[in-house]
Structure 1
């Protein structure tokens, strides 16, 4: 519980700082991707270790280096996603997986249509045979309206590491499951928010579908439900088919 309290405290500080500075036009520290805490996340898929029920959270911020804040800006960003076996008392409640995702990107355009060009690294910080990482360059185009958002993200993988598997014949390229891009559509209402992300590799017929549904509780807190179906829930499970459900709190959307 101390960890959860600390997590929320940090996010609230970041969120308050971001909102306050945005009102002043500074925008020094901003929330990037979704920031959420799922105290209960359940997968129906077989896992190599631990229990099916666990805690999942994602923490994501970005900092602008230079630009005018509207037409063009260079950002550095960091996202961390973790699965914590908090209900595995017998196993000392270990972290089953953590993915670290730093990136640098240049954003240009306006409030309604903008583009990002960037470089991203993602890894799980483990040793072989569980080491996973991939580096990519990407280009993203986003269309924003009062009701709907559309985001198209295309990437080219520069290098990837699936770890020195105990069974080399089972080692498969990450790109076979993550493909070459993703597409997100988002419905935005004051009380309801639905966002769906999909990616697919047409060569291998592998992909994933993730939907986040949230309801406003207060000005800055949202009750959220998440469903993930497919490959790549985490880097460790990049080639394992996963069906996951989660419920918790979201701090930005």
Structure 2
């Protein structure tokens, strides 16, 4: 698959002009050309998952679009990339041209030639890395490096799946080579809502801002990240330390009706937990099961009568039903025990001991996510629903994020008012992740 095709036409006024252009684009140049001589070049996308024991390899495709005479191209001896790995600064990588390739290639009209450049993977490169070409205009590539014992088999499966041209071939490759229940690494940004992406820093809970009015005009916004404490050699490891995360979420209610526009309340929520998106447990009843378990803190940072604070231990299984690439259902109950709740001893009367998250939608379309709480006393509880739709599908592919529509009804939209019934409020806004 081609990352970025770079067609170019040369009309040199003197023989040396082609060499100047070659230095600028670093992909090769045309020498000794007639007028209107045209060449195209492209960087082919590397496999999404690579074995650490095999070299990093980038392939350039040179083509001759000249309808007249043969074309002569200069091929650079090296190719330069910037490699970004997790939270480390970008590092330069020099790739060497494959042996046996001459410094110049002569292509007949309509002919093409692939040239590969390679270098060993650096020792510091782990998990998902980003490869940015230097000196020529091509899209960056995202590659997941596997350092586990089965890295060669997984990389082979990934290459075979990339080369497959029909759905039947993809299925045959997956059944023959890829271990059952082991999804290939998903590509995406370093900060991603996909829990399968092997990034050290990623989104955690939804991140959004929305404004609504019911009696008062209020805004609600939230940001949330998680950090993978240790990047494992085997990206599919289920070991405790290999899947240990620290996360931080902050949610604020902003009162826009008052003159000073104060924050009514803010919840600060650090957590430490174990998390795997796919436990490997499979059943005809569900497509995938994930598991999260850990300890968390929530407080509003206030003193005196307005102080609110809880510490909990929790476990959160997640079951997903249907095609994960299309509309599907996700059910995720978060069961918790209050380790400490001295600032609000009756909070279980209003929150209970479980948050039930139900999602329905598709990764590239609309999604409805609803969190239900039922308190231990009377009919206390709450409904918190969020409907999102990708902006890219509304106004163009260059846009990121989602249109966000939020609904809340019940007790405790913020921890300060955990025991007070809020007005039903609908807000509209923008979401970075969901």
Q: TM-score band, normalised by the shorter chain?
A: 0.7 to 0.9
1:17-28 paired onto structure 2 within 5 Å: 17-19=190-192, 26-28=198-200
Q: 2 CA distance for matches of 1:76 and 1:152?
A: 20
Separation in structure 1 between the aligned mates of residue 340 and residue 304 of structure 2, nearest angstrom: 17
1:94 aligns with 2:258: no
CA contact (8 A) 2:350 2:377 kept: no
Question: Which residue is 2:375 aligned to?
Answer: 201
Cα distance in 2 for residues equivalent to 1:71 and 1:87 = 50
Can you give the 5+ residue segments of structure 2 that lack an aligned partner in the other structure?
Answer: 1-187, 281-286, 393-398
Contact 2:311/2:341 (8 A) holds in 1: yes
In the TM superposition, 1:141-220 aligns within 5 A as 141-145=317-321, 146=324, 147-162=328-343, 173-189=346-362, 190-218=364-392, 220=400
Q: Which has the higher contact order (CA 8 A, sep 6+)?
A: 1
1 CA distance for matches of 2:222 and 2:208?
A: 5
TM-score, normalized by length of structure 2? 0.47
Partner of 1:167: none
Q: 1:76 and 2:246 equivalent?
A: yes
Query: Which ranges in structure 1 are unaligned for 5 or more consecutive residues?
Result: 1-14, 45-51, 164-171
TM-score normalized by structure 1? 0.79
Q: 1:101 to 1:69 in 2, by over 3 A?
A: farther
SS at match of 2:340: strand
Q: Does the residue aligned with 2:191 lie in a helix, a strand or coil?
A: helix
Q: How does 1:126-141 map to 2 (within 5 A)?
A: 126-141=302-317
- In the alignment, which residue of structure 2 is the partner of 1:7? none
Q: Structure 1 residues 69 and 202, CA, compared in 2 at 3 Å: closer, same or farther?
A: farther
CA distance in 2, matches of 1:94, 1:107: 36
Following superposition, the deviation at residue 123 of structure 1 comes to 0.2
1:222 aligns with 2:402: yes
Runs of 4 or more consecutive aligned structure 1 residues displaced over 4 Å after TM superposition:
none
The answer for the alignment partner of 2:120 in structure 1 is none
CA RMSD of aligned residues (A): 2.3
Write the deviation string for residues 77-116 of structure 1: whole angstroms up to 9, x where unpaired: 000001122443x2x2221111100000012424921111
Instruction: Give the structure with the higher percent strand.
Output: 1
Residues 43 and 53 of structure 1 are in contact (CA less than 8 Å); yes or no, is this contact kept in structure 2?
A: yes
Q: Contact 1:182–1:197 at 8 Å: present in 2 too?
A: yes
User: Do the aligned partners of 1:74 and 1:105 also contact (CA within 8 Å) in 2?
Assistant: yes
Q: Quote the Cα distance in structure 2 between the aligned partners of 1:85 and 1:187.
A: 31
CA displacement at 1:71 relative to structure 2: 4.3
Offset at 1:43?
4.0
Matched, 1:120 2:288: no
Match of 2:419, SS state, is coil
Q: Give secondary structure in 2 for the equivalent of 1:175.
A: helix
Answer with 1 or 2: which has the greater Rg.
2
- State how far apart, in whole Å, the 2-side matches of 1:115 and 1:191 are: 25
SS in 1 for 2:418: coil
SS of structure 2 residue aligned to 1:61: strand
User: What is the SS of the residue equivalent to 1:214?
Assistant: strand
1:61 has 2:233 as partner: no
Say whether the 8 Å CA contact 1:198–1:207 is kept in structure 2. yes
8 Å contact 2:349–2:376 — kept in the other structure?
Answer: no
